[in-house]
Structure 1
Amino acid sequence: MASSEDMVSLLDEQLIVFYILTLKLKEAIGANLCIPQANPIARPIPLGLYKYNSAFKPLLRSQPLPLPPPPPPPPLPRIISKFQEKISQARRDEASSHWVTQSIYRVPKSLRDVDQTAYTPKIVSIGPYHRGRRPFRTMDRHKWRSLYHALDRTGHDVSLYLDAARLLEDRARSCYEAPISLSSDDFVETLVLDSIFTLELFLGFAHGFQGLNYSPNDPVFAVRGIMHLLQRDMIMLENQLPLFVLDWILAVQEGCEPSSSYRVAPLALLFFNPLMPIEEILRPMVTANPPDDRRALHCLDLFRHSLLPLRTLLTPASGPRPSFPSEQSAPPVEIASPTLFSASRWLPIAQKRRRQLIHCVADLRDASIKFWRRTDVQFWDIKFEEGVLYIPRIFIHDGTKSLFLNLMAFEQCNFKCRNHITAYLTFMNNLINSEVDVGHLHDNEIIENLLGSDREVAHMFNRLCKEVVSDINDCYLSELSEQVNLYYNKKWNTWRASFNQKYFSNPWTFISLMAAIALLLLTALQTFYTVYPYYKKN
């Protein structure tokens, strides 16, 4: 009886243990499945219970606990994200830039503030910079008339020119410094319309507008007063078309091979001839087919080539740049050589500045320096010998100021240009301080003043070089300026000049001087003959 009771109690005890084990196992499994993601370690099952759950171990192994996802990276500081965005934009700008091919620039604000009117066209826009502005709408109608005349005269279809301009679109866009917001169709229209208008003016000026079927009373295409305004507008830096576009359109118009054509250059020089500040006989001629690296970039660059010989268009650091082809045959000019520029690089900056400064005409005259006109040379070829400053003649008219300012702006913007025009105008600005200086240069036939007032010429030269940065390592007149300053600093020259000006400026002072010298000699002779007999007697 006892044994059966013992068995019953033992069986009840096992059932209770099994029941407790089942509860503990259920609690452990539930705790493992419901723990938070951030804490993957759950409450462990007591080790003492593992001896009872050997039958459930395969079940636990078949259900591994899920791994939590990696935590998100901490957010970047705002300044770092801003810098990364700016750097990405700079990378895109660098990839899309065309620094080497740019040649038509926006005039810097520092230069434009000096004279707004010198850089802004008045009646006609050429190229995309000023396209569509209200002051040019009247001339835009005449551009369409020029296109009609060209198509009617040649019998061509307009699609021929549109296809040619479409081929040149990307290359032409890369020539402009400022971004062009025009669509592809608008830009192609600008190239065709402005090219035909420019070529009609060039051809009509060279061969006569009546030969191009224009009326003698045409308000634009006739040689009259408006032509001078057109010339002034079309030589401005912001009002340019690439010269290769004009060559290509002219070649298509005449049925020539576009790639080898260079016929626009002589026509352009003839058209802009009235703006020349020099004598026409000194300008070089144009060769027919120069190599690509010797061709001008646009009409303003072509005009600059015609003023300077080949040697002055060479850049010491980078070799020859696209220059005027016929200047190879120009006579050698004795200007500062590249070795002089390289030697001057080691001078202190203050000394380099002093080498470029020179006194005005009135002060140099006080040091007995004379001013003579130099003939048969270009206007920039200045020479100083034995106290005489030889300066070629320069013509000043109402378009000279705008012309010189745009030439200097082009030299300031184009890294391949040497600043010979800037150096020349800086030298003349130092020479001219007042209308008295202009009057003396005019009396010596150095300045041909067509403005009518010496004061206006002095004011023009004094404002030309305002806000212009002159390269102290690239000035072909530095050595000449130093020679003039050395001559000026000799006191004997100043005394001699003062004596000459005081006693030889007019005949009356000269007669008074001669009378005083004669009186002094007679007094000396009288004294001699008075004293001499006394000493002879003794």
Structure 2
Amino acid sequence: MVAVFNKELLSWYLITLKLKETLESGIPSSPNSSETLVQQKLQQEPSESLKITINENGEILHEEVASAESEWLISITEKLDQACEDDVITSWDKLSIFKIPHYLRDNCGDDKAYVPQVVSLGPYHHGKRRLRQMERHKWRSLNHVLGRTNHDIRLYLDSMRKIEEMVRSCYEGTISLSSNEIVEMLVLDGCFVLELFRGATEGFTQLGYSRNDPVFAMRGLMHSIQRDMIMLENQLPLFVLDRLLGIQLGNPNKKGLVATLALRFFDPLMPTDEPLTKNDRNKLQSSLKNKTTTTATTTFDPLSDQGGLHCLDVFRRSLLRRGPQPEPRNWIKRWSHTRRVADKRRQQLIHCVTELKEAGIKFKKRKTDRFWDIKFKDGILRMPRLLIHDGTKSLFLNLIAFEQCHLECSNDFTSYVIFMDNLINSPADVGYLHYNGIIEHWLGSDAEVADLFNKLCQEVVFDINDSYLSPLSEAVNLYYNHRWNTWCASLRHNYFSNPWAIISFVAAVVLLLLTFAQTYYSIYGYYRPA
């Protein structure tokens, strides 16, 4: 039995059958019967399609004419079924590792800021050709783990298989990898990450790697690996790393240590020049030496009361530690106020450095490692030191993207970047902040720094009413709008900018007073002669 859908092929087939029946029955056919039949078939309405089922003997069993409208309805039904299936499969409340939205990616101008260049972690960039070279080093790390712990690989595979569905729910969209493929990926990528974390703290030679190892050594390639591993699309759920490290240490329920190791590993990416203190590093090492102990006092974990979703989330929480604690952002509250829709005209928190200087506002450096902690009092804006290096752009863009995508995440980091974007409008603004010790950069010029901040928050959805810097900005703007402050600043700039200007001003005042005294005594002597 065969079903035929092609119109032209079906038409010629029917003509052949008709001619065959005519010849067998001996009925003479008109010379134009074939042509007429062809024209009738080819002139069918384009909105209809003919479906005919024919058996092996050439007999027509079923004939059905389906309109284009019915096919359209069938297509819509299939799409609705797919949407229903997506809702069932996807657990939106567990989603934490997102794909970069197109509006952020398109306006970035540098796709490398979001796409890993050396190593892939997780399913989004898994198997890409340019990243395959690192796969053999992942297998080397796994081999080191198994040899050092004397574990069977099946122990790790079985553990990851138990949490496969939880892992899938953390990623956006449907993961095309099979069950075996995703379990293998989790074990391979997870052990690779843990070897890097432990090597940065304990030392790679202590883990059995050669001091000349091309990957597992704190040198050139490591910086590129760190930059790739902090990207939003290149994350593994933290509970995966916790479970794998627990197996290695013989304590599957041990949590918090991975977050601490991650902070040590990503410390060179911190946008401050205040690294982890020696005391913190000693606590890290002691927590690893007492790895089999279950007491809470042996694990140094500054994030134990906060938890974490993945390494980027842990890094962000560390940056904002003891920082502003805004009220929880929920959907109802976000839309309960007026003017909540993001408007580029309303993202101006503060005036630029040059304009604030003209209004008499001074800039001074604060001695703190909390780079976001900005203070304003008595016309002085005190800002912590900010270190900008070649990985800052990628780091900032991924942190902003995470805050944009994760609804339950505050926008504190985005608020800080937009505040800096408002302050910096030109290389002169960067130069002045650098002169005051507020910005330290390793880029080519001040113009590159200005361009960096001016492009970071393009197309970012942001509401100034939801910023922790809004009260400070209001205080600065109130000071800026007071005319007396502007006049005093102009006086200081024009007449007290250097010692010679001060001497000239004092001389002019003295001369004016003498002239006034001379005039007074001349008039007084005229009316009151001696």
| TM score, norm. by length of structure 1 | 0.77
Code of the residue aligned with 2:168 in structure 1: it is R
The structure-2 alpha-carbon separation of the partners of 1:293 and 1:208, relative to structure 1 and needing over 3 Å to count, comes to closer
The structure-2 alpha-carbon separation of the partners of 1:454 and 1:428, relative to structure 1 and needing over 3 Å to count, comes to same
Query: Of 184, 188, 204, which residue of structure 2 is paired with 1:189?
Result: 184
Greater shift in the superposed pair: 191-200 or 473-482: 473-482
Q: CA deviation at 1:217?
A: 0.7
Greater shift in the superposed pair: 99-108 or 503-512: 503-512
Match of 1:448, SS state, is strand
Q: Output aligned runs, 1:271-282, within 5 Å.
A: 271-278=265-272, 279-280=274-275
Number of equivalences:
446
Larger Rg: 1
Show CA shifts across 1:4-47 (max 9, x none).
xxxxxxxxxxxxxxxxxxxxxxxxxxxxxxxxxxxxxxxxxxxx
Verify the 8 A CA contact 2:260 2:302 in the aligned structure 1. no
- Separation in structure 2 between the aligned mates of residue 237 and residue 355 of structure 1, nearest angstrom: 25
Match of 2:396, SS state, is helix
Q: Output aligned runs, 1:44-443, within 5 Å.
A: 81-113=74-106, 114=108, 115-256=110-251, 258-278=252-272, 279-280=274-275, 288=299, 294-309=306-321, 312=324, 315-318=327-330, 345-346=337-338, 354=346, 356-376=348-368, 378-443=370-435
Show CA shifts across 1:135-162 (max 9, x none).
1121111111111111111111111111
Verify the 8 A CA contact 2:215 2:222 in the aligned structure 1. yes
Greater shift in the superposed pair: 143-152 or 307-316: 307-316
- Separation in structure 2 between the aligned mates of residue 445 and residue 468 of structure 1, nearest angstrom: 29
Match of 1:174, SS state, is helix
Query: Of 497, 502, 511, which residue of structure 1 is paired with 2:503?
Result: 511
Q: CA deviation at 1:377?
A: 5.8
Show CA shifts across 1:474-498 (max 9, x none).
2111121122112111222222212
Verify the 8 A CA contact 2:427 2:447 in the aligned structure 1. yes
- Separation in structure 2 between the aligned mates of residue 232 and residue 317 of structure 1, nearest angstrom: 29
| TM score, norm. by length of structure 2 | 0.78
Greater shift in the superposed pair: 460-469 or 278-287: 278-287
Q: CA deviation at 1:110?
A: 1.4
Verify the 8 A CA contact 2:346 2:464 in the aligned structure 1. no
Q: CA deviation at 1:88?
A: 2.8
The structure-2 alpha-carbon separation of the partners of 1:241 and 1:313, relative to structure 1 and needing over 3 Å to count, comes to farther
Verify the 8 A CA contact 1:119 1:238 in the aligned structure 2. yes
- Separation in structure 1 between the aligned mates of residue 515 and residue 426 of structure 2, nearest angstrom: 46
Show CA shifts across 1:139-189 (max 9, x none).
111111111111111111111111111112111111101321111111111
Q: CA deviation at 1:508?
A: 2.6
- Separation in structure 1 between the aligned mates of residue 336 and residue 424 of structure 2, nearest angstrom: 26
Q: CA deviation at 1:509?
A: 2.3
Verify the 8 A CA contact 1:313 1:417 in the aligned structure 2. no
Match of 2:382, SS state, is strand
Q: CA deviation at 1:244?
A: 0.5
- Separation in structure 2 between the aligned mates of residue 437 and residue 303 of structure 1, nearest angstrom: 29
Q: CA deviation at 1:515?
A: 2.0
- Separation in structure 2 between the aligned mates of residue 226 and residue 420 of structure 1, nearest angstrom: 31
- Separation in structure 1 between the aligned mates of residue 445 and residue 231 of structure 2, nearest angstrom: 25
Match of 1:438, SS state, is helix
Code of the residue aligned with 2:253 in structure 1: it is S
The structure-2 alpha-carbon separation of the partners of 1:208 and 1:292, relative to structure 1 and needing over 3 Å to count, comes to closer
Q: CA deviation at 1:259?
A: 3.4
Match of 1:259, SS state, is coil
Code of the residue aligned with 2:90 in structure 1: it is S
The structure-2 alpha-carbon separation of the partners of 1:476 and 1:353, relative to structure 1 and needing over 3 Å to count, comes to farther
- Separation in structure 2 between the aligned mates of residue 313 and residue 481 of structure 1, nearest angstrom: 18
Task: Structure 1: state its 5+ residue gaps.
Answer: 1-73, 320-340
Code of the residue aligned with 1:305 in structure 2: it is R
- Separation in structure 2 between the aligned mates of residue 429 and residue 94 of structure 1, nearest angstrom: 39
Q: Percent same amino acid among aligned pairs?
A: 56
Is 1:475 equivalent to 2:467 in the alignment? yes
- Separation in structure 2 between the aligned mates of residue 261 and residue 350 of structure 1, nearest angstrom: 39
Code of the residue aligned with 1:255 in structure 2: it is G
Q: CA deviation at 1:100?
A: 0.6
Q: CA deviation at 1:453?
A: 1.9
Q: CA deviation at 1:397?
A: 1.0
Q: CA deviation at 1:315?
A: 4.5
The structure-2 alpha-carbon separation of the partners of 1:313 and 1:301, relative to structure 1 and needing over 3 Å to count, comes to farther
Verify the 8 A CA contact 1:432 1:461 in the aligned structure 2. yes
Partner of 1:37: none
Code of the residue aligned with 2:176 in structure 1: it is S
